[in-house]
Amino acid sequence: MLLFLYATCTLIAIIFLRFPLRRRKYSQLMPGTKYIFCDILGDLKLFNFRKSFYHQLLDVLSKGSKLFPKEQLFCMWITYVPYVFIVRMDAVKEVLKNNRMNGKSFQYEWMKPILGSGLVVSSGEKWKSRRKLFNHCFHPDIVRSYLKTFNSNSQKLVNVLKEEAEKDFVYIVELFTLCAFESICEAIFGIGVGALENNNIEISNSIRRCESIFIVRVYSILLWPDFIFRNTKIGKDFEHHANVVQEFTYRMIEETKQKYLSGEREFSDGKRKTLIDVLIEKHLKIKEFTEEDVREEVNTFMSAGHETIGIAAMWAIYLIGRHPEVQAKLHEEIDHVFGNDRERPVTERDLKDLQYMNCVLKESGRIYPTVPALGRHVPEDTKICGYTVPKDATCIILTYLLHRDEEVFPDPEKFDPDRFSAENCVNIPEFAYIPFSGGARNCIGYKFGEMELGTLICSIMRNFTVESLNKVFPVVGLSLQSSEPIRIKIRPRTVYESPS
């Protein structure tokens, strides 16, 4: 008995000494707050526990960045766990170009009930083979073929907004998300799900709820162990919403499989196959993919492919609605391209000709990047810009702060689309602006997203004027949310043809 007590006390002593000593060692090697022995909370002390953690997070991180204005990174300790925040382009480049750091941070594992080991979560050989396989699904010709879908769903949204325009204001994010959800489902499955017509927001809400719980867990160390998390209220809430998503995709995949098996839908013989062509062929014909493999990739593309577009459109309209001079210039360009024709589908040529609109969308993505942070796992002690980042640290690229580097973007809080004009954008260095991440793990569907977002915003601005009625603040999650629902006053436009 005494031997057991001695061994237990020794183990506890080792644990309680190991973590503080490790923290002291690495605190001396990286910019960050000064080390204090047995400081269990670490940088959690910077937060006011009476206020919402998420509403404070960006402010705390911004202050941390300003404490080290010349450094490329800084470290914050959540108890004895190091989070290394990358905030300048040189360090960003070193991280994203380092193939040994292609693995996502361990926290992404917590999204496996929805995403499985799909493209976002997987690493190593599985990620390499899947990435190579799916690259063909985003060939320019295939992306171009989705333009008809983008136009159709953008017009459905316009029709809904015409009805909503009679109201004092519209909450836009749900409508934009539904539109994007409809488009991604059509792109994956080849059929619509009636999201806009039926106000079918349940799946999208479940995905968003899982993402918000994920962020709660990231910064709540007590919730890290699965056996604790699963038995909490929010853990059970997460499980419920994950099941809602899984049941939806299971049903859609089964319906699609039956179409292939019955001959109603045929496998493509060409190299340019859609995502569902590739997945079902690998499952039914080649037998390389299990049903779980198919489901995890469908969930990955469905989740990432609609939330990001809905949020990007929300922030773009919010900024346009707060800057009437930008809106006037945008309307002028759109009218020059389309005249008073409200119904002609947007073409690829139109999207290239709408150069100012592209500048507006890029500047919106700079100020409010849809994905405000990118997590990476550090597999070994690694030098980044001269600083030693410890093995197994979580390295987070703060896109939100990177895009506010005053040396690259003077007066960074100002909404100035001309930063991205043809003559100015050449002055933006590589890795200073990464709305779609960068390096080997950049967003595989960024061209798809650009075309969908451009079609959506063009369709809205052809038909309406918008005014943002409330000032909101960004809140960090897997995507950049608003501190409260954005209220937009939306009114139909009248366009007159100029005399020839």
Question: 38, 10, 3: which is closest to 24 by C-alpha?
Answer: 38
Separation CA 452–CA 262 (nearest Å): 32
- Residue 89 near residue 432 (C-beta atoms within 8 A): yes
What are the beta bridge partners of residue 81?
A: 78
Q: Annotation-wise, does 443 bind a ligand?
A: yes
Question: 174, 169, 171: which is closest to 196 by C-alpha?
Answer: 174
Other Cβ atoms within 10 Å of 387 Cβ, number: 19
What sign has the CA pseudo-torsion 218, 221, 226, 228?
negative
Residue type, 442: N
How open is the CA angle 183-185-189, to the nearest 5 degrees?
125
Separation CA 313–CA 359 (nearest Å): 14
Question: By three-state DSSP, how is residue 298 classified?
Answer: helix
Separation CA 139–CA 123 (nearest Å): 23
Extended beta strands in 425-484, E state:
464-468, 474-475, 481-482
Please state the separation of Cα 414 from the chain's center in Å: 23
Other Cβ atoms within 10 Å of 254 Cβ, number: 10
What are the beta bridge partners of residue 492?
A: 464
What are the beta bridge partners of residue 491?
A: 465
Q: How far is CA 292 from CA 113, 114, 205, 391, in A?
A: 11, 11, 23, 32
One-character DSSP codes across 386-433: TEEEPTTPEEEEEHHHHTT-TTTSSSTTS--GGGGSHHHHTTS-TTS-
What are the beta bridge partners of residue 383?
A: 388
Separation CA 459–CA 341 (nearest Å): 11
Extended beta strands in 211-324, E state:
none
Separation CA 433–CA 369 (nearest Å): 10
Separation CA 377–CA 321 (nearest Å): 39
One-character DSSP codes across 82-106: EEEEE-SHHHHHHHHH-GGG-SPPG
Could you tell me which residues are annotated as the binding site for heme?
Answer: 443
| Bind-site residues | 443
